[in-house]
A = this chain, B = another copy of it.
Amino acid sequence: MDSSEVWKNCIGAISNLIEEADFEIEEDGMEMKAMDPSHVALADFKLSSAAFTEYEVDKPTKLGVDLTEMDKIFSRANKNDESTLEYTEEDNRLKLEFIGASTRRFSLPLLELEEEELPEPDLNFTATAKVTAGTIREGLKDAALVGDNVRFELTKGKFLMKIESDTGSAEMELSEEDEGLKDLNVDEPTKAMYNIGYLEDMFKAARSKDIVEINHGEDLPIQIIFKMADGEGILKFLLAPRVETE
């Protein structure tokens, strides 16, 4: 994934969940960390300076961004455009430039955002899987036929997404020989239920063939990790489980 595509996909996914957030620009890279308004999902997006062709920071800065507007701009980038982000204190705007068949420049006013206390849960995951994003997306679409929440179950050799209701049931099973499952490590079997809509938004960050890491524990939040730009970029989502009353 080249750099415009990283931004396009990651901001695309995050902006479905979170409207505004601060980007912390440091000398060695930048980070955006925020919760969705209903405090169910936490996003943590990091790009190290090495993920950029050129990266220059005069002094650490915090930039409050309307992610919906930023997403609209990145969705105008073409696949092979060379993209630049720039901020100068004078005009207090974020400037974006895409160079391709023409040179296109956008600017975005910055926001004063209130500090938000973000939870830093210490989670004891007992199972880890590496899966292709496309496979999980298919499983989510299947599950959406039946209801709003899908249960993940990770056991030795088996990755399961399932949902049951009065109108039917859907289940996706990945075994170690399936090409959608790249790796599976289960210390203790896990089971928990999550909202399908949130998961669908998160998985927009990746292309179908991209490999995604899922960390899981019994009734714990699910952690979903997208790596990009040869590991110099990372997008982590944490999504709280639903109580299993459905």
Which residues of A line the B interface, CB within 8 A? 69, 72-73, 76, 93, 101-109, 132, 134-135, 138-139, 141-142, 145, 166-175, 178-181
B residues in contact with A105, CB < 8 Å = 169-173
Indicate which residue in B73, B134, B170, B181 contacts A145 across the interface (CB closer than 8 Å).
B73
* Residues on B with beta carbons closer than 8 Å to the beta carbon of A171: 104-106
Please measure, in the bound complex, the distance between the C-alpha atom of A207 and the C-alpha atom of B103, giving whole angstroms: 21
Residues of B within 8 A of A93 (CB): 168
A170 touches B101 (CB 8 A): no
Contacts of A135 in B (CB 8 A): 101-102
Contact A168 B101 (CB under 8 A): no
> Bound state CA distance, A107 and B166, in angstroms?
10
Further pairs besides A76-B145, A105-B171, A109-B168: 20, Cβ < 8 Å: A69-B168, A72-B145, A73-B168, A76-B142, A101-B132, A101-B134, A101-B135, A101-B138, A102-B139, A102-B173, A102-B178, A103-B173, A103-B174, A104-B142, A104-B171, A104-B173, A106-B142, A106-B170, A106-B171, A109-B166
Q: A108-B168, A166-B109, A168-B108 are contacts. A103–B178 as well, Cβ < 8 Å?
A: yes
- 11 examples of A-B residue contacts, CB within 8 angstroms: A102-B138, A102-B181, A103-B172, A103-B174, A103-B178, A104-B138, A104-B172, A105-B172, A106-B170, A107-B169, A109-B166
Contacts of A141 in B (CB 8 A): 76
